[in-house]
Amino acid sequence: MRNRQATKLIFELSQDGRRGAKMPTCDVPRQDVSSLLPAAALSASPPPLPEVAEPDVVRHFTNLSTLNMSVDTHFYPLGSCTMKYNSKRNERLAALPGFSDIHPYQPDETIQGLLQLLYELQEMLAEISGLPAVSLQPAAGAHGELTALMVAAAHFRELGEVRTKVLAPDSAHGTNPASARMAGFDFVTIKSNADGNVDLEDLQAKLDDEVAVFMITNPNTLGLFDCQVNEIANIIHAKGGLIYLDGANMNAILGIARPGDFGADMMHFNPHKTFSGPHGSGGPGAGPICVAEKLGDYLPLPVVTKHDACYRLDFDRAKSIGRVRSFFGNVGVLVRAYCYLRTHGAEGLQQVAENAVLNANYLLSQVKHMLPVPQGDRCMHEFIATASELKKKKGVTAMDLAKRLLDFGFHAPTVYFPLTIAECMMIEPTETESKETLDAFAETLFRITDETKECLQEAPHSTLISRPDEVQAARVPTLKWTPESVHVTDK
């Protein structure tokens, strides 16, 4: 049984007078804080911060960390999120003093090395995407989407065109409609056809002169490359619209296909997915965008430029949409992406994509014997399996399978997305996993699909918390530990 002490809040471990460090006696004249700050800025009492010794802090967070699954501890086949192993070498390089100890307000001439790195990263992303103008400022993939749509809006304003709609397939990531609405557009869903690709008839029926952007993820969330993409781009461009490529799945086509070459006018990268930066926990992140030359003037400020072997942050762009992030964005994540790209080089990036596709197709070939794979025997970097037949046969759902996988040390795949597939499981092994790991996962999935309904519906059996009421947890979170608030199974 896990140590229940690990589940207590740091505030519950607090004891009056405990300290992790003792400050030296003040050697300058003291001043009353009320003489330094206005009364409205002062609290009536000190903040109720926990008082704990250093061992308490270390043990508390170390114990909490053992409850987590991560790419460092487990196979993490989370479809659409590309949870591949993060190279520790990149972590060490990003922690070098020349990157980690500088200040964002330093003059450009004092940070020429960092600016050179960022400039070269812009150039590499432009080459990979086939789109020449780059902004590194957005702080996440969804933020990149929003920024690019703001760029599109500025473009159409200058043209004097009123365009109010953004289109995207029904298999799109949920961030697509959210980004469109936040950028001030109406969102229109385009149906997928039986093959999982864009339904061109539905696209033509919903296309008019008010359409600003068509957003497409290619390869899409079903793990398929939509070979109609050139035709789609021609249709949208003929109406004066723009194509946005959701770059979440670039891991499948690095060095093989460039979005700018198959019609995209804008795209974002997810460095934490595609270029193996840290992933999860809400950040920090990055979501660089690449756009066509005609859109480059609207990119957010600043942009790194080079002139006579000197690098600077360029704020002098009259058509820019302005800042979308404080300072220059999350530079530490960008440094990691740069290190990843320089490590692999052009040939290495292509091998990354080829191995990602190979691993996904190999795992698909094993899983299809236990769970139907509705989109055929071939995929890109990920694939869709469904538990629909298992649900009809014995009442077992995709969620039941996902929960039971935790008992065997595997993080669950993405479940119930995309919404176009019933009892969906989206599985992405990434290129960093070995054949032995994939075989073990397939063998475990085979084993649990043969287990009883009762066993599966009570899973997971080995975790401290089993199946919380997620809706209730979001609406009325329980922030204080009690024995009744957890489910513990003794083994």
pTM over 0.85? The answer is yes
pLDDT higher than threshold 70 for residue 220:
yes
pLDDT band at 102 (very low <50, low <70, confident <90, very high): very high
pLDDT tens digit sequence for 425-451 = 999 999 999 999 999 999 999 999 999
Any domain includes 266: yes
Any domain includes 83: no
pLDDT higher than threshold 60 for residue 3:
no
pLDDT higher than threshold 60 for residue 144:
yes
Q: Are residues 314 and 332 in the same domain?
A: yes
Of the ranges 218-227, 267-276, 369-378, 472-481, which one carries the lowest mean pLDDT score? 472-481
pLDDT higher than threshold 70 for residue 216:
yes
Of the ranges 5-14, 52-61, 423-432, 460-469, which one carries the lowest mean pLDDT score? 5-14
pLDDT higher than threshold 90 for residue 65:
no
pLDDT higher than threshold 90 for residue 182:
yes
What pLDDT shows up at residue 482? 60
What pLDDT shows up at residue 195? 94
pLDDT tens digit sequence for 317-335 = 999 999 999 888 889 999 9
Q: Are residues 171 and 185 in the same domain?
A: yes
What pLDDT shows up at residue 4? 44
Residue of higher predicted confidence among 2 and 170: 170
What pLDDT shows up at residue 69? 87
Any domain includes 453: yes
Average pLDDT over residues 231-236: 98
pLDDT band at 1 (very low <50, low <70, confident <90, very high): very low
Any domain includes 364: yes
Q: Are residues 332 and 388 in the same domain?
A: no
Any domain includes 487: no
pLDDT higher than threshold 90 for residue 284:
no
Q: Are residues 324 and 408 in the same domain?
A: no
**The tokens of 422 are what?**
């019933």
pLDDT higher than threshold 50 for residue 209:
yes
Any domain includes 27: yes
pLDDT band at 465 (very low <50, low <70, confident <90, very high): confident
pLDDT band at 5 (very low <50, low <70, confident <90, very high): very low
Q: Are residues 324 and 411 in the same domain?
A: no
pLDDT tens digit sequence for 477-490 = 877 656 555 544 44
Q: Are residues 275 and 409 in the same domain?
A: no
**Residue 423 · residue 372 · CB < 8 Å:** no
Q: Are residues 315 and 359 in the same domain?
A: no
Average pLDDT over residues 242-262: 97
Give the domain extent around 222: 91-344
Q: Are residues 140 and 23 in the same domain?
A: no
Q: Are residues 281 and 360 in the same domain?
A: no
Q: What are phi and psi of 446, to 5 degrees?
A: -60, -45
Looking at every residue in the chain, the average pLDDT score rounds to 92
Of the ranges 88-92, 201-205, 304-308, 461-465, which one carries the lowest mean pLDDT score? 461-465
What pLDDT shows up at residue 488? 44
Q: Are residues 253 and 305 in the same domain?
A: yes
What pLDDT shows up at residue 442? 98
Residue of higher predicted confidence among 469 and 359: 359
What pLDDT shows up at residue 326? 86
Q: Are residues 139 and 119 in the same domain?
A: yes
% of residues, the chain, pLDDT over 70: 95
Any domain includes 486: no
Here the CATH number for the domain that contains residue 247 is 3.40.640.10
pLDDT band at 255 (very low <50, low <70, confident <90, very high): very high
pLDDT band at 282 (very low <50, low <70, confident <90, very high): low
- The domain total for the chain is 3
Here the CATH number for the domain that contains residue 361 is 3.90.1150.10
Any domain includes 77: no
Q: Are residues 301 and 399 in the same domain?
A: no
